[in-house]
Amino acid sequence: MPSMKFSKPPVVETPRAILRPHRLEDFDAYAAMWTEPAVVRLFGGKPRTREESWQRFLRHPSLWSYLGFGYWAVEDRATGRFIGDAGFQDMKRALTPSIEGYPEAGWSLCTEAQGKGLASEIVLALHSWSDANLGCRTVCIINPDNAASLRVADKCGYRRYGESVYHTEPVILFERPAQG
């Protein structure tokens, strides 16, 4: 695990998005995103309750505080609206092979932001940040039916190294060595 360097996310910019710390005023859009069928389809298929979204929303600052990395809120550069989140976590998942101890990349965009190449732009930017600041291998898990995220992982340098089951669902395990 990388040493703790950051207690909150720095701002990272892409041509179409700003990755920044989550703000309390993001919560309603965050909770709404996690009820959208296109978002939850491959994350268990069940919309989150407002309470479940609140609990997950609250963990974002804790990741940064305890691990020195975490998730960013994704803001649309043109409109200033919250459109998703992306970043790294270590959730101590019960997977074999284990990914514990490695920053696990993840990304989610609201339905209106999907299908525009934005996820690849965002994930490339967060990996540029991780290469410069964490300098370690990162991992991700993706549902085999999630063709869009499989393409993003490939574009961002991830290579498949295993398969597992997480919460009764099959997942593919990917790894990306630190670059540069």
Beta strands at 138-142 and 159-166: parallel, antiparallel or unpaired: unpaired
CA distance to 39, 116, 149, 151, per residue, from 44 (Å): 10, 24, 15, 20
Pairing of strands 71-76, 82-89: antiparallel
DSSP β-bridge partners for residue 105:
88
What pLDDT is stored for residue 149 in this prediction? 96
What is the structure's pLDDT at 180?
76
CATH 3.40.630.30 is right for the domain spanning 12-176: yes
Q: In one letter, which amino acid is 155?
A: K
Which amino acid, 176? R
CB 123, CB 19: distance < 8 Å: no
DSSP annotation of 31 reads: H
Quickly list DSSP for 100-147: TTSPEEEEEE-GGGTTSSHHHHHHHHHHHHHHHHT-S-EEEEE-TT-H
List the 17-20 sheet strands across, edge first.
12-13, 17-20, 71-76, 82-89, 104-109, 138-142, 169-176, 159-166
pLDDT along the chain (180 residues), means of 10: 72 98 98 96 90 96 94 98 98 94 97 97 97 96 96 97 94 94
pLDDT for residue 4: 52
Whole-prediction pTM: 0.94
**Cβ contacts of residue 85 below 8 Å, gap of 6+?**
22, 30, 60, 71, 72, 73, 74, 107, 108
